Amino acid sequence: MSDTPVACTRPRIAAGHRLQWEAAQDAYVLLYPEGMVRLNPSAAEILKRCDGEHSVAELVAELESAFGQSDLGADVDAFLAAALQRRWIDAS
């Protein structure tokens, strides 16, 4: 995993944001006061695990196990860094 600002944290969905399945969109969406973001399946799987309890390393291990993949750390870090920049998540 890279040394991004979220690499050693336990990310959570930011206050005022809500992740939910939207049947009309046939996708998970992230709702926030200014609008909504339709998430691709990978982004949704990552954000579903951003509960403030899982470390990034645990989140990556869970995703790798769930999808039979390895070396997802860099991709997850990149997404989390972008999500943090967009203020979709809080990292603590």
Q: What is the pLDDT of residues 10-30, one digit of tens each?
A: 999 999 999 999 999 999 999
Element spanning 71, H or E: none
Residue 12's closest CA among 75, 70, 59, 68? 59
Q: What is the pLDDT of residue 8?
A: 63
Strands (E), the chain: 12-13, 18-22, 27-32, 35-38, 89-90
User: What whole-number distance in Å separates Cα of residue 29 and Cα of residue 55?
Assistant: 23
Q: What is the dihedral of CA 85, 53, 40, 33, to 10 degrees?
A: -60
Q: What is the pLDDT of residue 36?
A: 95
Q: How large is the average pLDDT for residues 57-70? A: 96
Q: What is the pLDDT of residue 2?
A: 44
Q: Strand, helix or coil at 80?
A: helix
Is the predicted pLDDT of residue 4 greater than 70, yes or no?
A: no
